Amino acid sequence: MTEAAHSSLVHAFDSQRGRHILVPDGSRIYDLASELALEVDTAVSAGEDAVARLLERYGLASSPYIDDVPLQDPPIRALSLAVAQKCNLGCAYCYAQGGDFGGVPRNMSWPIARAAIERLIDAAEPGQRVNLAFLGGEPLVNRALVRDATAFAADQAKARDIRVGFSITTNGTLLSAEDASFFEEYGFAVTVSLDGVGDTHDRLRPFRGGDGSYARIMARVKPLLDRQQRMQVSARVTVTPLNIQLQDMLDEFVATGFHSVGFSPMLSAPMGRLELNQPDLMTMLEEMIGCARKFESETVAGRRYPFSNMTEALRQIHRGIHRPYSCGAGAGYFGVSAEGGLFACHRFVDDENGRLGDVKDGLQRDKRNAWLAERHVHRQEPCSKCWARYLCGGGCHHEVIYRGRPACDFIRGWLHHCLITYVNVMEQRPDFFSAERS
């Protein structure tokens, strides 16, 4: 990969069709005539003032799409309930520290789940959409609550003409045929955590007694894969130094019938176990680019290849996404602990750094708005000078707080390749997004 010259105001990249620029402000992409390509390079070498003058000269300067004003009091749009802060697996790197977040293993009670759902539904207007997610630990340890909460949320939403989406992230070991019917009935997005094929997975995600879990998970996931109509079943891989060969894994999971397959780098683990270092991240980037090339060739050939890191990036680039935050944590999205604490997201559950209220009394307004002010991408360094700032949004808040920003070259390298893929796919499959929707 050759990364072209860049500044914070413009980022150049080459596709099969020639040279292009991304103007980060507004995430706008332009094709460059060859004489202009030289002009851009010269301006970038000369510094930010020269780039600003160039954008002005060609009518590309504008008043900033994103100002410094942080979000204030945005409505809650999504909650994830930690219905079971306990787990039957013993994954070495688990952010929930074995599912209990460092505390006593426990289940969420019905009054807490009900209060959380009422808060979510009450915050929405008729016609709007909200999302209710179930996480753990392993949420199916508390299956009865998952079912009661889902039925209750669906009823409440229907009565108020609100659309509600459901999702669950599970280790897959407890899935049953009845779960398949239930998830299909309510149109769940089911994410199964898988860290490789066979032994690779078993090494990273064993049962607490040490036995491997892969064979059991695949046997239990199969009925769900076979029944996907309203339900979508995806695989999510946490990438550590022990499972960094991604291309064969992606092929295998796509062939197995998952609706999508995605990879997340392990950047911050309790005790630092299995975190990726710089050389690992560069290896992962090479693997991701290999997966992206396969995605591109399959897509151009008209075949579905659901590599979700790429499909999601392409959707965002196509929409011209430019965002002041990396995610909705503490804005429209919160994690609810078993005791009813409202935390910035599922990863902050029971972490005082991310406690922003509780389901009974609601959000602590000043604390929540201070979080949003603090986490705006313009307040992050070195993000305010980074060309990728409005595509990236400044990185996962949890990882930034606990590990800093070790993955910026990885993020920029990946986004650079996504921009190239976007132009290539649009050139050869201009119907890609309409075909994806149909």
Quote the least distance from Cβ 229 to ligand SF4, whole Å.
28
What track of x and - describes contact with ligand SF4 for positions 322 through 361 (by CB under 6 A)? ----xx-x---------------x-x--------------
DSSP letter at 104?
A: -
Quote the least distance from Cβ 412 to ligand SF4, whole Å.
5
Residue 44 in the binding site for ligand SF4 (CB under 6 A): no
* Closest CB to ligand SF4 among residues 376, 389: 389
Quote the least distance from Cβ 346 to ligand SF4, whole Å.
6
- Cβ distance 362 to 353 under 8 Å? no
Residue 79 in the binding site for ligand SF4 (CB under 6 A): no
* Closest CB to ligand SF4 among residues 169, 369: 169
Helices (runs of H) and strands (runs of E) counted in the chain: 15, 14
- CB 427: neighbour CB atoms within 10 A? 12
Q: Please list the residues that pair with 232 across neighbouring strands.
A: 189
Distance CA 299, CA 429 (A): 8
Token pair belonging to 145: 């609550």
Q: Which sign does the torsion angle of CA 170, 174, 177, 182 carry? A: negative
Residue 6 in the binding site for ligand SF4 (CB under 6 A): no
Residue 76 in the binding site for ligand SF4 (CB under 6 A): no
Q: Please list the residues that pair with 19 across neighbouring strands.
A: 14
* Closest CB to ligand SF4 among residues 195, 202: 195
Taking CB under 6 A as the criterion, the residue among 111, 198, 302, 382 binding ligand SF4 is 382
Token pair belonging to 73: 């009091």
Quote the least distance from Cβ 277 to ligand SF4, whole Å.
17
Query: Residue 305: what residue type?
Result: Y
- Cβ distance 235 to 250 under 8 Å? no
What is the bridge-based pairing of β-strands 341-343 and 355-358? antiparallel
* Closest CB to ligand SF4 among residues 172, 394: 394
DSSP letter at 3?
A: P
Quote the least distance from Cβ 260 to ligand SF4, whole Å.
17
Distance CA 205, CA 171 (A): 9
Token pair belonging to 115: 């209060």
Residue 133 in the binding site for ligand SF4 (CB under 6 A): no
Distance CA 425, CA 80 (A): 34
Residue 75 in the binding site for ligand SF4 (CB under 6 A): no
Give the interface size with ligand SF4 as a residue count (CB under 6 A): 21
Residue 388 in the binding site for ligand SF4 (CB under 6 A): yes
Quote the least distance from Cβ 415 to ligand SF4, whole Å.
8
Q: Which sign does the torsion angle of CA 129, 134, 140, 143 carry? A: negative
Quote the least distance from Cβ 228 to ligand SF4, whole Å.
25
* Closest CB to ligand SF4 among residues 197, 408: 408
Which distant-in-sequence residues (6+ apart) come within 8 Å of 116 by Cβ? 79, 81, 336, 340, 359
Quote the least distance from Cβ 344 to ligand SF4, whole Å.
6
- Judged by CB under 6 A, the chain residues 246 through 285 that form the site for ligand SF4 are none
Quote the least distance from Cβ 267 to ligand SF4, whole Å.
10
Distance CA 303, CA 40 (A): 37
Helix (H) / strand (E) containing 298: helix 278-300
Residue 11 in the binding site for ligand SF4 (CB under 6 A): no
Distance CA 71, CA 206 (A): 42
Token pair belonging to 82: 């930690």
Of 186-194, 222-230, 379-387, 428-436, the segment contacting ligand SF4 by CB under 6 A is 379-387
- Judged by CB under 6 A, the chain residues 408 through 427 that form the site for ligand SF4 are 408, 411-412
Burial class from Cβ neighbours inside 10 Å (0-12, 13-18, 19+) for residue 226 reads exposed
Quote the least distance from Cβ 398 to ligand SF4, whole Å.
5
Residue 396 in the binding site for ligand SF4 (CB under 6 A): yes
* Closest CB to ligand SF4 among residues 108, 396: 396
Of 8-16, 179-187, 315-323, 377-385, the segment contacting ligand SF4 by CB under 6 A is 377-385
The residues that touch ligand SF4, with contacts defined as CB under 6 A, are 326-327, 329, 345, 347, 380, 382-383, 386, 388-389, 392, 394-398, 405, 408, 411-412
